[in-house]
Structure 1
Amino acid sequence: MPADAKSHVRLARPSLDLAAAERFWVGGLGLDVLYRHEGTGTTGDHSLLMAGWPDAAWHLELVGAPELAAASPPGPEDLFVVYLDEPVPAALVERLERHGGTRVPAHNPYWDEWGVTLRDPDGHLLVLSSRGWSNS
């Protein structure tokens, strides 16, 4: 069976601090906790958090691996973009900031024109875009 438009996508990355990441992505953006695993700390058994919207065809997997997160810091174009198809609500930006996010200027001015960029507690960038998007 080939991958197609119905294929679910998981974006996995290490996190320096899963509790801080959860506050930002769940409490701030409003994703649901889809799955949680408390690791034992033994090699290869890290804690993890899967967060997303229940009916979405994607989710984030945040792996509690500070040593891996520190070894691969995100760059200025490592973006997670959410297309809102409406103006970015100031209340949402404020909530993300209260939950550990920091509003930052975008590396690419396109995103400042069409949205708001926030740095999450791990240093990764979330762009809330006022534009819409369709792959069709």
Structure 2
Amino acid sequence: MPADAAAHIRLARPSRDLRAAERFWVSGLGLDVLYRHAADGAPGESSLLMVGWPDAGWHLELVHDPAAPLEPRPTPEDLLVVYLGEPVPDSLVGRLERHGGKRVPAHNPYWDTWGVTLQDPDGYLLVLSHRTWSNA
């Protein structure tokens, strides 16, 4: 199968605390837990949490190696942008904040004009944009 628009995308990143990440992404944003694995102590084995929407062409994989944890190192431009196509509901922002998110000003003011930026428990940024997007 060639790499094309039908290829599924996995975005993987380290997490300090998979429970905190799950609260933010699942209880806060509303993604589903697609898969989880708890490390049983075998050398080199990591715990992981995959979250996403079941019919989406992507999912987010959060990984934690209890024996050799990696510190997340997001930059101000490491963004996951969700294009809502409508105003960002205050209730959604509040729910994300109650589940471990923190509303922050965007590094690039473009995103403050077109949405809301929240920092997840690992420091990565989620932008909820009221714009729409198409690659067509």
- Sequence identity, in percent? 73
Deviating beyond 6 angstroms after TM superposition, the runs of 4 or more aligned structure 1 residues are: none
1:116 maps onto 2:103 in alignment: no
Q: Deviations over 1:22-63 (max 9, x none)?
A: 000000000000001011233321110000000000000000
Cα distance in 2 between the residues matched to 1:42 and 1:130: 44
1:17 maps onto 2:30 in alignment: no
Counterpart for residue 101 of structure 1:
101
Cα distance in 2 between the residues matched to 1:100 and 1:64: 18
TM-score between the two structures when normalised by the length of structure 1: 0.95
Counterpart for residue 88 of structure 1:
88
Counterpart for residue 69 of structure 1:
70
Gap runs ≥5 in structure 1: none
Q: Deviations over 1:67-95 (max 9, x none)?
A: 5531x510000000000011001000000
Cα distance in 2 between the residues matched to 1:80 and 1:68: 23
SS in 2 for 1:132: coil
SS in 2 for 1:69: coil
Cα distance in 1 between the residues matched to 2:123 and 2:65: 14
Counterpart for residue 47 of structure 1:
47
SS in 2 for 1:27: helix
Counterpart for residue 56 of structure 2:
56
Counterpart for residue 33 of structure 1:
33
Gap runs ≥5 in structure 2: none
SS in 1 for 2:70: helix
Q: Deviations over 1:77-117 (max 9, x none)?
A: 00000000110010000000000000000000000000000
Cα distance in 2 between the residues matched to 1:77 and 1:68: 23
C-alpha RMSD of the superposition = 1.2
Change (3 A) 1:87 1:75: same
| Count of residues in correspondence between the two structures | 135
TM-score between the two structures when normalised by the length of structure 2: 0.95
